[in-house]
Amino acid sequence: MAHLFNRNILLGVSGGIAAYKSAELVRALQERGAKVRVIMTHGAQEFITPLTLQALSGNPVHTELLDERAELGMGHIELARWADALLIAPATADLISRLSAGRADDLLTTVALATAAPMMLAPAMNQQMWKDQATAANINTLVERGVKIVGPEAGLQACGDIGPGRMEAPEVIADAAGGLFTSGELAGKRIVITAGPTREALDPVRYISNNSSGKMGYALAQAAVDAGAITTLVSGPVNLAAPEHTQVLNVQSAEEMLDQCLQLLPDCDIFIACAAVADYRPATVQNQKIKKGPEEVTLQMVRNPDIVATVASHEQKPYTVGFAAETNDVLAYARDKMQRKGLDMIVANDVADQSIGFNSDENAVTVLWPDGEQTIERANKTTIARQIVHLIAQHS
């Protein structure tokens, strides 16, 4: 059984008799650890009620593109960003045709255009419709765009015909969905990723830190595992569950993080410095709690080691990727940082935008390397991480 632990699966249900199987599919996805939200076309609602899928998924079912309440928050865009994958089952001949043409005339097709997440279709239709040249051409078009197809099965159909066109079994579809997150692009590579903030102690109970949640670094670790890498996460203090199949080494300060990273370098092929490391630390750490005293105090600080620059200059340097969180002139500062520190790649994001970056589930970044760059539009951090890992695999 494939695992979909903590994956956000957006299930699209279109109007075919096989829509009744979508109830079983919701369960199968949840059994594999997925969080499921459902979009139903008008046709789908003729075969199965939204209430059934709402009760099974535990989330409201989305049916209308122009829903005034949802659209106050740009509902279709929020769904598109939430999804780690868009799975459409059943996918009728009509829906496949509209997706192939790039139509956006209902909620499901609009979300399909608006999401950066991978897409998988489970076709279901009459056997002659499946064999028709138009359907074949539409399927080929979607496959060329990167859409995955699972099924259909051959057998007895509701209309009495026998042949290919039956929707694949829900368990098979759910297992196939797990394959959307496993690329093998970095199979056997050893990757070290830093994540989260560092804490620089003032005394036994106080410290200096920042707002990093660690979500981006943890998403990168999961994406690296999905790409087949042997992944170690050197993490500052966060409130996140460790990604499966990842070794997590917990640290507090920048110096502790650097020590751990240097110990790992001999067996490291790729190093991703995603942690928000404090630039400075207190010059002295008090052994006892500092008591309240005068109205003003002066705190003497010293510079912390630059972890990514140290790794990039090491004699055992791996392929080194840095992050640049900036509030202005983002790309200029990022490219300068990449050149100055000897990095192979850098990921730049604008932390002045409060809706992305620190503590958010979403991000938008530009990835730069010495002779190129690529912008990754706003999406959830899982999707962003997967695309960053894909670029690393291409260039490392």
CATH of the domain at 265: 3.40.50.10300
Residue ranges for the chain with pLDDT beneath 70? 1-2, 67-75, 157, 159, 354-359
The DSSP letter of residue 151 is: -
Same domain, yes or no, for 153 and 292? Answer: no
- Residue 145 is encoded by which pair of tokens? 């765009």
159 in active site: yes
Nearest Cα residue to 196 out of 207, 182, 211: 211
The amino acid at 229: A
**Domain closes at, from 181, 210, 227:** 181
Q: What pLDDT score does 73 carry? A: 47
At residue 140, the pLDDT reads: 93
Determine how β-strand 200-201 pairs with β-strand 207-208.
antiparallel
Which residue of the set 159, 261, 268, 274 is catalytic?
159
Q: What domain range includes position 164?
A: 8-181
Tell me if 230 is assigned to some domain. Answer: yes
Is residue 170 located within the same domain as residue 276? no
Same-domain status, 197 and 158: no
Q: What is the pLDDT of residue 282?
A: 93
State whether 157 and 205 are in the same domain.
no
Residue 212 falls within a domain, yes or no?
A: yes
- pLDDT at residue 356, as a whole number: 67
Measured at the alpha carbon of residue 23, what is the angle toward residues 17 and 26, in degrees to the nearest 5?
130
Report the pLDDT value the prediction gives residue 71, as an integer from 0 to 100: 46
| Distances in whole angstroms, Cα of residue 384 to Cα of each of 27, 159, 305, 356, 362 | 27, 43, 28, 12, 8
Residues 94 and 176 in one domain: yes
In a domain, residue 3? The reply is no
CA distance 360 to 202: 28
Q: 349 and 287, same structural domain?
A: yes
